[in-house]
Structures are given as C-alpha cells and as structure tokens.
Structure 1
Amino acid sequence: MRVAVIGAGIAGVCSAFELAADGHEVTVFERRGSVAAESSFAHGGLMAPAYLTAWSALGRRALLQPRRKHSSLHLSATKLLSPAVWRATCFNAENAKRLQPLLSYSQARQAELRHSLQLDYERSEGLLMLLRSARELAAVKAGLTLLTELGLPHRQLDAAECLALEPGLSPDTPLAGGIRLPQDEVGNCRQFAHLMRGEARRLGVRFRFHTTVQRIEPGAKPQILHAYTPPEESLAAAGPDSDSGGDTRPETMEPQLESFDAVVICTAGDSAALLRPLGLKLPLMTWQGYSITAPLRQLEAHPDLGPRSGLVDAQYHVSMCRIGQRVRVTGVTEIGGRSAQMSQRATDTLHKVLHDWFPGAAQYGAVQRWRGARTRVADGLPLLGASGLAGVWLNTAHADGGWSLANGAARALADQMAGRASAVDLAGMDISRLR
C-alpha cells in the first residue's frame, strides 16, 4: 500500500518505520523542518510502564494542589477545571490496567529494535520515586498494590537505601523513602527519533518536511491536500528547489492533492482540526508540559553531581533524568495558558525541585527552557486504530506516555492495517469507546 503518515513526532516516525518494515510505500508529512520538533523535542525521557501504572492508580487527587505556589498542576488566571478536565487529571486504576499491556509491549518492542538495529542513544535503566513524607508513602500504597497485581517488579526503600542508590541526593531535603522500579528506563527520545528516521529512510520512507496537510478526503483511495510551507527565512536563503533536511525536494509552492491507500494521523492536538470538517469530532484536550535541561557540573571531587538515572519527586510529580551529561527536569501541567507564553511559575517549580534534591549540580547559565503540548482524551487512553472514516487511521492522544507507547502502538497499528492480530490486546483503545 501507499501510506501517508501525518506528523513526524515520535509516534509518526515509529509508525512510518513499522509500516515500511511491512513492505508499504510510506511518505511522512511534517510541517516543521525535522522529526521530533514539537511535543517530542524535550520531554522527560521516561520509558516507564511501571511508574505510569503506579501513578495512575493514585488518582492524582491526593497530590495535586493547583493553587499552591509550587505544584504539578498550574491553571491560568481565569481557567477553572471543568468536570471533564478534572476527571482527566484523575486517571484511574481500571484504565491503568487496560493500558499497561501496551506499555510493556512497547518497551519490549523498543528493546528489540535497539538490539537488532544497533541503535546507540543516551539511556539508563531504573527509576526511583522519591517520597518526602509519610503521607506520600501512604498515598502510593494503592499504586504498589496494582504493581503487585500486574506482576511489575518494584521495591520499597528507606531513606538510607535511596541515598545509596543515588549518592548525589541532598541529605538536607526530607526523605521518607522511595520506590525502586528497576525495569523502567530513561532515554533521549529526540535522539531515538532521529535514529529511527534514519532506519525508516533505509527502508524507503520519504519525509516531506515544511509540508502542511490542509485537508483529508477519506475514501477507498483517501487523498490529502498538502502545501510546502517553509519559514520565510529558509525559503529566502535556499530557494524553493533546495534539499530540505535531506528529504524534501519541493516541486511547487502550490497546494497539491495526492492519493494514497491509507492515511495515518499522528498529529496529537491537531488531529481534531483535521478530522472536524469530516464530521468526526474528537474530544481532545491539549495541555502544556514544561521541562528545563542543563549541563551537569563535572567535578573530580564530586563524581555524583546530579542523578545517575531517573527520579520522580512524588509530591510535585516532577521527574529528574540524566540525559548524557545533562539533567532534564520535567513536569508541571499547565491548563489554560496562552500557547506562546512560557509560565515563570511553572519553570520556578522545576528549578525548586532540582535544587531541593541536587543543589549546585547544574550549570544554570546554559539552561534550556521548553514548553510542549500534551494531548489526551479524558480517560487517559490513546486513540489507536481505524477512525471510522474510509482509509483513515489514528495513532494519537498519548497524553504523558508518548514515548512509552510509541513503538508498541506503531507495531500494533501496522498489524491492524495489515489485517493481522496484534501481539497485544488493544481492546478499548479505538475510537468506538467515545461513541
């Protein structure tokens, strides 16, 4: 089949690879100039089936305090939580059970590709949840019960064991204990996406960067209307016939209507806008997530400045992950903020958490601040499978688990499109649950 994949984030790149591995002729359309340029650019880097499962079981309510100065949930000045949005912050244990097989399958698929393709990217193994108080220790009991029920390895640690595992932790910050999740991982999602782009190109995938899809026409031979939309400065410097990113060779500046055998939508929040004119209204919510990334100081006398792998502060729902010789601090969900405006309050929370646990570890003069969209349905589950429109498929709405789900969702979707049974149960993941 000739397949169009719309969106070159981690979901789109993995979908393109899996479809090409099945022998399909694949073209990826991406409005930016490279892969992983938006929501996949600088997120936390957690490949964490156990953590996402355990955290979901908490319902989040006990730990979310959006009106405090430092919190994992920020509201704009005028934004109130509607019942649907509040439910979305309280992802429950039943949906966590439904999602967990896909999370574990995705991690296994990524490991398989890492070994078979010899992919070398920044990564480390193991995740530690840090609990500041006895209250938090009690709050995570429900999550630990669910992990035991699902057979996911975990171990409860006291403060001394946490400090032995992560010697760089500040002894001055209250620490009641931690939860060690040995099978969870930390890695550089953007680096992985670029490696997967290279593997996809070897299989014949064509990437069309700076190309915006304006319309989809479903049918036995679905069509997409797309236009070459480079930044003005890029066009002025290189001209319309340049080789954009090594892939795109635009032939015209006019919109083009092109036919395919199938179209796969991997555009996160923009999925709703593409499908709304076709009568399909997806109940997607797009929030903003924040991260800061900074180089770690290198001192011979203090070899353990910063984290060795990945940690999560359970009180603030903020992760601190080692990415090569840098630390990435991620968390803080903003609801209702203007799309182009960074929240100082949000980044202040990230700086506070990093300073609490690793004071003086980062070179703040070189810090990178980032804000990216997270798109979800209220139940927290992805939209994966046939859209109900002829020839149009969905791989979107991954919420906080974009990279954790990417490889498994892409492989399962390719199986579905080929009419094969998937190796993982996808019940409840498709659009039929919204009807």
Structure 2
Amino acid sequence: MQIAIVGAGIVGAATAYELAADGHQVTLFEQRAAAAEEASFGSAGLLAPALLLPWAVPGVGAGRLWRDPSSPRLARGAASAGLAWRWRWSKAGRSPGMPALLSALDGLGRYSLARTRALAQRFDMDMEASRGTLVLLRRPEDMEPLQPLLQRLREAGEVLQEVDADTARLIEPGLCTDAPLAGALHAPDGQAGNCRLFAQILRHAAQAQGAQFVFGARVQALGRGHAGVQIAGEAAPRRFDAVVLCAGLASAALLRPLGLHLPMAAVNGYSISAPLREDSHAPQGSVIDPLHRITITRQGQRVRVSGGAELGHGGGTPHAPTLQTLYLALSGWFPGGALTSSPQVQVWRGARPTLPDGAPVIGASGHTGLWLNTGHGACGWAQACGSARALADLIADRAPAKDLQPFGMGRF
C-alpha cells in the first residue's frame, strides 16, 4: 500500500520504519525541518518502567508521595479549557477502569522495550543507553502510596526490589551522602536512552527501506471520503491508500473537521541537559525523585534532569521555579556529577501531547484508511516502537502481539 504518515517524532519515525519494513510505500510529512524536533527532542529518556515516570498517568502515587499539585500546573494561557482538562485528568485517576488501563499500559511498555532493544541490536545502534532505575524514598512511609501500582507491576512480571539506603548508594555511588534517603525501589531491568538520537537512526533505517521523509511540509487537512492529505501551499490533495496520524497536537486539530474529537492537551515539561563532569559522581542509570516529580537520567556523556507539567503557553517564558527545582535536584542528588555552569547546558521546554487518561490512541479512526498512533504523553519514547509494530500488524490485517483495544478511539 501507499501510506502517508503525519509527524516525524519518535512515534512517527518508528511507524515509518515498521511500515516500510513490511513492504509498504511510505511517505512521511513533517512540518519541521528535521525529525524529533518537538516532544521527542527533550524527552526525559526513561524507557522502563514507564509507569513510574512522573506524569505518565493520572492518579498514580497521588497523596503523600506525590506532593501537591497532583495535577498539571495552570500557566498563562490555560484559560477555562485548561481547567476543564485538568479536571478530566484528576477524574480519570479515580476511575474504576484505571487498574485495567494501567495493566494495558504496562504490557505495551514492556512489549515496546523488547522491540526497542531488538531494533538497537539489529542496527548495532549506540543510543546512549543506561540500565537500572531507582525510585528514591526520603521516608519509609513514602512507599505506601505506591503499593497499589507496585502490586500491579509485580503481577505483570516486573522485577522491583525494595532496597535500603546503603544498597541504593551501592547501586548509584554518586548519590549525595548528605541527602535524606530512607531507601529506594530498584528496577534492575529499567533502561534509559537518547530518544532524539534513536529517532534519527530509525529515520535512516526507514529511508533505507524506501520510505520518503518530506520536511517543511505542513498537512493542513485530511481527505474526506478517501485517504489523503492536503499540504499547505499545494493546489490539490495527495491521495494514498492509508494515512497514519502521529502528529501529536496537530493530530487532534486535523481530526476535528472529520467530526472526531480527541481531548488532547499540551502538557508542557522541562529538561536540562548538562555535560558529564565526573563519572563516579554522576548517575549510572536512571533516578526518579518522587517528591519533586523529577527524573534524572544518564545519556552517554551527558546528564539530563526532567520534570514539570503545566497547561498553557506560559507567555513564552520558562517557569523559573520549575527550572530552579530541576537544578537543585540535580546538584542535591548528584553533586559534582554534571557541569551545570557549562555553556553547553541545554534548557528545553516542550509540549507533551497528552490525553486525560494518560494513554495513547492507537488503531483505526472509524474513517476508512485513517489510522491513529498519537497522544502518548510522557511515555512517547517508552511506547513508540511497540505501538508502531502493533499498528503495522493491524494495518496488515494481522493480530498484533499486544491487544490495542484499550487504546481505541471509542473510549472518548
């Protein structure tokens, strides 16, 4: 089939590769000048366990561990729409269906991790991977709010070990000895990597399979009654046998004229990437600070600290308290590990296209030839390769290895 893909983030790049590898003629349209220039650019980097990533899903850890606010901050420009979306997010966290959705998301995450590792091995990729994830607990009672999630993860086969402070510091020798630490959760199979680098490698792998990437091309409309895309500045639409939307927020805008409404919001997050200063003082894997909802990951010769969740454009100005919290968390947990005063430090603020239950939409749209793989929120990197492979199987009329029904459009 001739298939168009809209969006060249990590999800779009993975989808292009899987469809091209299946023998389809793939053309990917991206409004930016390169792949992975938006949410994928400054990803926290955590691949697994994805459900422990702050802001992955609503309601996880709410209470004493995840301190207020337990919902995204309302920034300038959020208006009433942002307030309404945040209410839906909080409501979803209390939904009776959330346990089943968490199980489905965990299954997708583990399937995606296996697919990511298989691709990395196939192409001998250096994705600046690091292994092992620690969730740091300042007080013994901080474990209690996580118990329901931990039980589900363990039932699904995740290896999660409760370790004391001394063991946590053996796993991560760079942890500050003066920082309060009662213990930690250790996921030895946890992994992080450079999302943007992996997306670029997948792009080249897709092109080697015959896929075409068209940059600087904004899709302004989808075909009605047939699969196709209308590119801004072109007089006639381009027709295809199928179209896959992987365009984040633009996906929701393109669907509205077709009568399809995705309650997607731009949940803005921050990351600071700093050059490595001293290996023994820096994280060896990934560390999650649940008190401040921050992730610190090692990515090759850099350290990245990520956090924050806000609705609204914020007036185009980064939220200074959030950035200060990121800097303090990095220096507080790993003093001397990164060169935070270097001119090579990169500060990023970007929108994570998020649906109010924290899960993506993957599968058929209800319109002939139009497919969806979008709205992955904070877990785009963790779910990209698995969702791409599963969708490619669905398009080929094969049963996917993971059931995609929990991620269908019909839930909205």
Same fold (TM over 0.5): yes
What amino acid sits opposite 1:32 in the alignment?
R
Equivalent position to 2:328, from 352, 357, 365: 352
Equivalent position to 2:258, from 278, 282, 286: 278
Matched, 1:306 2:282: yes
CA displacement 1:171-208 (0-9 Å, x = unmatched): 11100100011112010010001110110010011000
Q: Which moved more, 1:181-190 or 1:140-149?
A: 140-149
- Superposed CA RMSD in Å reads 2.2
Equivalent position to 1:370, from 324, 348, 352: 348
Q: Secondary structure at the residue paired with 1:364?
A: coil
- Tell me which residue corresponds to 2:190: 184
- Tell me which residue corresponds to 2:237: 257
- Tell me which residue corresponds to 2:61: 60
> Could you state the TM-score of these two structures normalised by the residue count of structure 1?
0.87
> How many residue pairs are counted as aligned between the two chains?
401
Equivalent position to 1:86, from 69, 84, 90: 90
Query: Are residues 339 and 276 of structure 1, via their aligned partners in 2, closer, same or farther at CA, if it must alter by over 3 Å?
Result: farther
Q: Secondary structure at the residue paired with 2:189?
A: strand
Equivalent position to 2:231, from 222, 226, 229: 226
Q: 2:58, 2:90 within 8 Å by CA — same for their partners in 1?
A: no
Q: 1:72, 1:332 within 8 Å by CA — same for their partners in 2?
A: no
Q: 2:46, 2:53 within 8 Å by CA — same for their partners in 1?
A: no
Matched, 1:26 2:6: no
Structure 1: which 4+ aligned runs deviate by more than 4 Å?
53-58, 77-81, 88-91, 253-256
Q: Secondary structure at the residue paired with 2:36?
A: coil
What amino acid sits opposite 2:349 in the alignment?
R
- Tell me which residue corresponds to 1:408: 386
What amino acid sits opposite 1:100 in the alignment?
D
Q: Tell me the distance in 2 between the aligned counterparts of 1:53 and 1:290.
A: 14
Higher CA-based Rg? 1
- Tell me which residue corresponds to 2:16: 16
How big is the shift at 1:58? Answer: 6.1
Q: Tell me the distance in 2 between the aligned counterparts of 1:141 and 1:404.
A: 22
What amino acid sits opposite 1:326 in the alignment?
R
How big is the shift at 1:338? Answer: 2.9
Q: Tell me the distance in 2 between the aligned counterparts of 1:287 and 1:211.
A: 25
Equivalent position to 2:128, from 97, 122, 127: 122
**What are the within-5 Å matches in structure 2 for residues 191-210 of structure 1?**
191-210=197-216
Equivalent position to 1:328, from 300, 304, 310: 304
Ranges in structure 2 where 5+ consecutive residues have no aligned partner: none
Q: 2:129, 2:194 within 8 Å by CA — same for their partners in 1?
A: yes
- Tell me which residue corresponds to 1:267: 247
Matched, 1:143 2:149: yes
- Tell me which residue corresponds to 1:38: 38
**What are the within-5 Å matches in structure 2 for residues 76-115 of structure 1?**
76=75, 81-82=83-84, 83-87=87-91, 92-115=98-121
- Tell me which residue corresponds to 2:372: 394
What amino acid sits opposite 2:298 in the alignment?
R
Q: Tell me the distance in 2 between the aligned counterparts of 1:398 and 1:206.
A: 24
Q: Which moved more, 1:274-283 or 1:334-343?
A: 334-343
Query: Are residues 209 and 135 of structure 1, via their aligned partners in 2, closer, same or farther at CA, if it must alter by over 3 Å?
Result: same
Query: Are residues 280 and 72 of structure 1, via their aligned partners in 2, closer, same or farther at CA, if it must alter by over 3 Å?
Result: closer
What amino acid sits opposite 2:348 in the alignment?
W
Q: 1:72, 1:316 within 8 Å by CA — same for their partners in 2?
A: no
Query: Are residues 317 and 89 of structure 1, via their aligned partners in 2, closer, same or farther at CA, if it must alter by over 3 Å?
Result: farther
Q: Tell me the distance in 1 between the aligned counterparts of 2:51 and 2:356.
A: 20
Equivalent position to 2:276, from 296, 304, 313: 296
Q: 2:66, 2:290 within 8 Å by CA — same for their partners in 1?
A: no
How big is the shift at 1:72? Answer: 8.5
How big is the shift at 1:41? Answer: 0.2
Q: Tell me the distance in 1 between the aligned counterparts of 2:374 and 2:123.
A: 25
Matched, 1:427 2:409: no
Q: Secondary structure at the residue paired with 1:315?
A: coil
Q: Which moved more, 1:393-402 or 1:142-151?
A: 142-151
Q: 1:216, 1:225 within 8 Å by CA — same for their partners in 2?
A: yes
Q: Tell me the distance in 1 between the aligned counterparts of 2:66 and 2:235.
A: 46
Q: How many percent identity over aligned positions?
A: 41
Q: Tell me the distance in 2 between the aligned counterparts of 1:201 and 1:129.
A: 39
CA displacement 1:135-175 (0-9 Å, x = unmatched): 31222222222222212111111000011111111011100
Q: Tell me the distance in 2 between the aligned counterparts of 1:207 and 1:225.
A: 16
How big is the shift at 1:65? Answer: 3.8
Q: 1:285, 1:375 within 8 Å by CA — same for their partners in 2?
A: yes
Q: Tell me the distance in 1 between the aligned counterparts of 2:94 and 2:301.
A: 35
Q: Secondary structure at the residue paired with 1:308?
A: coil
Ranges in structure 1 where 5+ consecutive residues have no aligned partner: 228-252
What amino acid sits opposite 2:39 in the alignment?
S
Q: 2:7, 2:29 within 8 Å by CA — same for their partners in 1?
A: yes
Query: Are residues 154 and 274 of structure 1, via their aligned partners in 2, closer, same or farther at CA, if it must alter by over 3 Å?
Result: same
Q: Tell me the distance in 1 between the aligned counterparts of 2:202 and 2:396.
A: 21
Q: Tell me the distance in 1 between the aligned counterparts of 2:175 and 2:410.
A: 47
Q: Secondary structure at the residue paired with 1:371?
A: strand
How big is the shift at 1:88? Answer: 5.1
- Tell me which residue corresponds to 1:244: none
Query: Are residues 178 and 65 of structure 1, via their aligned partners in 2, closer, same or farther at CA, if it must alter by over 3 Å?
Result: closer
Q: Which moved more, 1:175-184 or 1:109-118?
A: 109-118
Q: 1:50, 1:147 within 8 Å by CA — same for their partners in 2?
A: no
Query: Are residues 14 and 129 of structure 1, via their aligned partners in 2, closer, same or farther at CA, if it must alter by over 3 Å?
Result: same
Equivalent position to 1:215, from 221, 227, 235: 221
How big is the shift at 1:427? Answer: 2.0
